[in-house]
Structure 1
Amino acid sequence: MCATATAFAAPPATPFDAQAVLEQQKTIRADIDAGKGAYGKLNPATRQEVRERQDKLSKLLENRRYEDLSQAEQDQARVDMAWIEYAGKTDDDRLVCERVRTVGSNRVERICKTVAQRREEKKSNKDNADRALQNRNLSPCGPEGCS
């Protein structure tokens, strides 16, 4: 029974470079302050929450290495980093997956694209269809020719 419990335990978390995280947070803070990028477009409440989490993360990581953090501090740092990263995601970054059956086959394939990719593909398909309609022969005669 004990052997199966350890088999299902969560894998150890990958260490991160605390100083690289702090540099990344400085870049994000600059985007917020300048009002540019995905973080510059956040609503005021979310922007404030990002700043508060960044301040907390900075206090935790300042002049420390990953190895210096307790397990609880590592977990808290990961939660804050994930929250900040998610806050900067726009709907265009969201990944949407669908199951598509291949033409001429019963095989089902899972295709994942971002919302932006799907929108661009839809626009491209519409443009191609419009172009094909404009370029077709509008002659009243059939394929055999006019009589």
Structure 2
Amino acid sequence: MKFRVWALSLLLMAPVAFASVDRGVLQFESIRSQQTEIRAAVQAGSGRYKDMSVNARGELLAKQDHLFQLMQGKQSTQDLNEDQKTDVFNTLEWIEAAINKADDERMICERRPVLGSTRKERVCKTAGQMRAEREATRERLDNREVRQ
């Protein structure tokens, strides 16, 4: 019974304790630390990066350079505009996909205009989903041309 009361009080206090933490905000200190560790291993060609091609390593390091440039002088994603946030997200997803060799699972976000409005919305899909949509659209257009 004491455990239940303790657990319940902990659950009730949690919203207050975490009220100041925005779950959509990424802190750049941890990203910088993680990317620096990855960079050292990639440059050394050790661990999971030992079989990575020279071109893939160069591309990964270039993406990291771009990411570090976006984060320069900033503490979190709150310091970025919407396009920069999308760029940071896409770059991190690209790096993760390159490391895990899962390019089709990489998330890609775009800011697309909303029809009939001046605002834009963020649309995120995997690289595989985007490729499948492009192929389906191309196939529909090809079938349409054949019928005409």
Per the normalisation by structure 1, the TM-score is: 0.50
Structure with greater proportional helix content: 2
